């Protein structure tokens, strides 16, 4: 086989590897999104071996050297990203979403949760109790940490003062995952 034939075959191999890398990228995206359960590690290892073999061959064509460097750089960039994400999954830093929502998650999105608190501008303790109820409601509905305590209490006080309300009943409602706060006389 002459040099031109070897170069042509190497170029064809590079094109096939490019297609396989794109397909592998798609499979990893599906895995990280929760659509498939097992990461495509076997294919990743096969492609890595092929790229290492291509890099170790003595190629005298500048064009082929450039193409091999280009494809290997792209693969190793994706490879490092995939391995980093896999490591984060294994260590529990991130979680993969589930493919289908569970009945519980659907219920929590549609159900309405209500808590009431009585507050008075004459009693600082009533605002502490209000924030405690607010924080508890946020945790019960998996909304994480809500607003900063001082910021929330001050905004409620400011609203009460601007509306000339001394004693109020505050309704806290979570609808479709969003918190709504209403101040009533």
What is the rounded distance in angstroms from the CA atom of residue 42 to the CA atom of residue 39? 9
pLDDT on residue 90 = 87
pLDDT digits (tens, 9 = 90+) for 77-110: 999 999 999 999 888 888 877 665 555 555 555 5
* Average model confidence (pLDDT) across the chain: 83
Tell me what percent of the residues of the chain surpass a pLDDT of 70: 87
Whether residue 111 is predicted with pLDDT greater than 80 in this model: the reply is no
Full DSSP string of 23-79: HHHHHHHHHHTTSSSS--HHHHHHHHHHHHHHHHS----HHHHHHHHHHHHHHHHHH
Give the residue, 19 or 178, on which the prediction is more confident: 19
Predicted confidence band of residue 53 (pLDDT cuts 50, 70, 90): very high
Strand 178-184 relative to strand 112-120, pairing: unpaired
pLDDT digits (tens, 9 = 90+) for 134-184: 888 777 776 666 678 888 888 888 888 888 888 888 888 777 667 778 888
**Three-state secondary-structure class, residue 172:** strand
Please classify residue 135 by burial: count the beta carbons closer than 10 Å to its beta carbon, then call 0-12 exposed, 13-18 middle and 19+ buried. Answer: middle
Residues 1-30 have a mean pLDDT of: 90
């Amino acid at each position: 086989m002459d040099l031109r034939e070897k170069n042509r075959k190497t170029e064809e191999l590079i094109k096939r590897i490019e297609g396989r890398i794109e397909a592998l990228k798609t499979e990893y995206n599906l895995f990280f999104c929760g659509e498939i359960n097992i990461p495509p590690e076997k294919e990743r290892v096969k492609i890595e071996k092929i790229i290492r073999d291509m890099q170790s061959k003595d190629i005298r064509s500048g064009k082929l050297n450039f193409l091999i460097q280009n494809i290997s750089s792209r693969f190793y960039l994706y490879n490092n990203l995939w391995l980093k994400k896999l490591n984060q999954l294994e260590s529990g830093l991130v979680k993969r979403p589930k493919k289908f929502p569970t009945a519980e998650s659907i219920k929590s999105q549609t159900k309405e949760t209500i808590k009431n608190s009585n507050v008075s501008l004459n009693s600082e303790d009533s605002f502490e109790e209000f924030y405690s109820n607010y924080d508890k409601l946020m945790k019960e509905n998996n909304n994480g940490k809500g607003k900063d305590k001082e910021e929330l209490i001050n905004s409620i006080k400011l609203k009460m003062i601007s509306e000339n309300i001394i004693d109020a009943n505050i309704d806290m409602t979570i609808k479709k995952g969003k918190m709504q706060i209403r101040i009533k006389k």
